[in-house]
Structure 1
Amino acid sequence: MKLLFVADPLESFKIYKDTTFAMMREAQRRGHQLAVCGPQDMAWQRGGRVCAQVRDVVLTGDAQAWFTAQPARVAALADFDAVLMRKDPPFDSEYFYATHLLEQAEREGAKVFNKPRALRDHPEKLAVMEFPEFIGPTLVTRSAQDIRAFHAEHQDIILKPLDGMGGMGIFRVGPDGMNLGSIIETLNQGGAQSVMVQKFLPAIAQGDKRVLIVGGKPVPYCLARIPQGGEVRGNLAAGGKGVAQPLSARDREIAEALGPILLARGLILAGVDVIGDCVTEINVTSPTCFQEIYDQTGCDVAALFVDALEQALESILAQQAKRVL
């Protein structure tokens, strides 16, 4: 198969931990051909198909010069067997516009994973609100008054922006309310921006668990990202320590409930963040942790992903064949 990865520049990859690299390596191992582009390389001209300046690449196995690339060429996205949207957040206006171009490419016959409409419809923090049975006390608001009332009720809270990533902009406010006003002003920008507020979950001491769902099914191991030092954040980007561990009964319950729903919406890969027994986020743009789980447990998540991708494509082709008949 010919696979196109829409991603950040390959030159920026840290291949010892990068999940997109793990996907590419497994796909090439199976004989699939790889090409790459960035969202900025896509274009749509009147009367034409969505195209991109793409580079055909081969992974070398060398830790330093780890890929070779052909000169960029123009190709229609629909001419690839699959397009994998792996651009990292933030989910800004340009990411949003990229999903529209990808959706047009779908209308032209492209098969895009994760599905562009599903990416738009599942903002990673807001998405949890659809599943109240799996989350702790949570509020999304622009109102400083509402945030203060939430704090008065729950005493120990977490505040974070809806568009943050890697632990950016996360604050904890305890019972004394120290700096609550300043934090509200910083995050809600005088009522111009929405803020997510959650009851603090002490189980964060045991880790913020990334539970991966591939092809609607839970990966048997998660990565618990454990805060270090005086940090409240377990994110690896914020210095958290990643410890792979088997799913708990609650982790599996959550993943088995959400998996089929997310898959039906076109989300072949999702990363559900769980603290204790509660879901805190559902990551769909560019979920990670494949390599950390593999390195510590031997569970080959990249192989599970490529299995799911191949099965999804086979299913699509079978459905198309039925329509022709």
Structure 2
Amino acid sequence: MKIAFLTDPLSQFKTYKDSTFAMMREAVRRGHSIYAMEPQDIALENGVVTAAARQIHLTGTADDWYRADAATDVALKAFDVVLQRKDPPFDMEYIYATYLLELAEQQGARVFNKPTAIRNHNEKLSIAQFSQFTAPTLVTRDAERIRAFHREHRDVILKPLDGMGGMGIFRIGADGMNLGSVIETLTDNGSRTIMVQRYIPEIVQGDKRILLIGGKVVPFALARIPQHGEIRGNLAAGGVGVAQALSERDLEIAQTLAPQLYQRGLLLVGLDVIGSCLTEVNVTSPTCFQEITQQTGFDVAAMFIDALESALAGN
């Protein structure tokens, strides 16, 4: 099988924790060929979506971890599968890439996660489709609505709709200190829509990443625990990841969402759960494969490649 990875520059990978690298390693172990490309490598020419893709050969060493052949222009439909693993920000360039990938699908390419499904599932807003699992939430750009929400709930989290890795997240307590400044900053003086949620105190026990693969639930979550007075558990913000078995509530949320999201073309999803509440549905490039595997022995990458092979076989 020829697997093309649409991803960030390989030179930026931290192979000891990178989930895309774990996918690559497992694919190669099974005898599949892997290729890499970046969004700027994709083009539409003479009606065909192509990419300047490079075949990648893993070296087995930690630092100098790959060798790359020269790039060649290949129609995306020539690959058995294209895996979309580009990190946010989910800006217009990201959206343009999904349009090209969608066109490639029409030409015969198999793309996961499905480009239309990525566009249709904003990682913050998608929780509104499953409101039975969420904390009180407001989405608006209106300052007075935000102030009223704060007056009602007293302790709130404000965040942009297009962030990742905990960027741009603020907590405002009962005293309302700096609320006006945060509203102005995040909404860009009323020109950008943001999300406001009631603060969930269980964040001190971790922001749990729960992985859904091929409509099934990985039995372990990675609780990303904030450090040094932080409110953000994200690993990129300094959180410490602790793998743990799923709770009854975790399973309820995950088993409800897993088959629905898979039917929509989302082969891999990362749910974020704090306490008993769903806070995000990550569909662009969910991570935490290696941390879960290293701490529990459960091979997440193997489960992912199993699901990929099954999907391509039509099962």
Using the size of structure 2 for normalisation, the TM-score is 0.99
Q: Following TM superposition, by how much is the alpha carbon of 1:65 offset from its aligned partner in structure 2, in angstroms?
A: 1.1
* Deviation string, structure 1 residues 110-166 (Cα, Å, up to 9, x no partner): 000000000000010001011110101000000000000000000000000001110
- Rounded to whole Å, the distance in 2 between the matches of 1:155 and 1:17 is 38
- Rounded to whole Å, the distance in 2 between the matches of 1:120 and 1:195 is 18
Kindly provide the amino acid, as one letter, of the partner of residue 3 in structure 1.
I
* Deviation string, structure 1 residues 65-119 (Cα, Å, up to 9, x no partner): 1101101101000000000000011101000000000000000000000000000
Residue 313 (1) aligns with residue 275 (2): no
Q: Following TM superposition, by how much is the alpha carbon of 1:299 offset from its aligned partner in structure 2, in angstroms?
A: 0.6
SS at match of 1:191: coil
Q: Following TM superposition, by how much is the alpha carbon of 1:37 offset from its aligned partner in structure 2, in angstroms?
A: 0.3
SS at match of 2:270: strand
- Rounded to whole Å, the distance in 2 between the matches of 1:70 and 1:188 is 45
Q: Following TM superposition, by how much is the alpha carbon of 1:60 offset from its aligned partner in structure 2, in angstroms?
A: 1.0
CA RMSD of aligned residues (A): 0.6
- Rounded to whole Å, the distance in 2 between the matches of 1:66 and 1:236 is 23
Question: 1:320 corresponds to which residue?
Answer: none
Question: 2:178 corresponds to which residue?
Answer: 179
Question: 2:287 corresponds to which residue?
Answer: 288
Alignment of 1:151-170 (within 5 A): 151-170=150-169
Using the size of structure 1 for normalisation, the TM-score is 0.96
* Deviation string, structure 1 residues 187-229 (Cα, Å, up to 9, x no partner): 0011100010000000001000000000011100000000001
Q: Following TM superposition, by how much is the alpha carbon of 1:51 offset from its aligned partner in structure 2, in angstroms?
A: 0.2
- Rounded to whole Å, the distance in 2 between the matches of 1:261 and 1:285 is 17
Identity, % of aligned pairs? 64
Alignment of 1:126-205 (within 5 A): 126-205=125-204
Q: Following TM superposition, by how much is the alpha carbon of 1:302 offset from its aligned partner in structure 2, in angstroms?
A: 0.3
Could you list the runs of 5+ residues in structure 1 that have no partner in the other structure? 317-325
- Rounded to whole Å, the distance in 1 between the matches of 2:181 and 2:10 is 39
- Rounded to whole Å, the distance in 2 between the matches of 1:58 and 1:181 is 52
Kindly provide the amino acid, as one letter, of the partner of residue 313 in structure 2.
E
SS at match of 1:288: coil
Question: 1:270 corresponds to which residue?
Answer: 269
SS at match of 2:168: coil
* Deviation string, structure 1 residues 213-255 (Cα, Å, up to 9, x no partner): 0001110000000000110110001100100000001101101
Question: 2:255 corresponds to which residue?
Answer: 256
Could you list the runs of 5+ residues in structure 2 that have no partner in the other structure? none
- Rounded to whole Å, the distance in 2 between the matches of 1:229 and 1:70 is 44
Q: Following TM superposition, by how much is the alpha carbon of 1:48 offset from its aligned partner in structure 2, in angstroms?
A: 2.9
Question: 2:60 corresponds to which residue?
Answer: 61
Q: Following TM superposition, by how much is the alpha carbon of 1:10 offset from its aligned partner in structure 2, in angstroms?
A: 0.5
Question: 2:39 corresponds to which residue?
Answer: 39
Kindly provide the amino acid, as one letter, of the partner of residue 263 in structure 2.
A
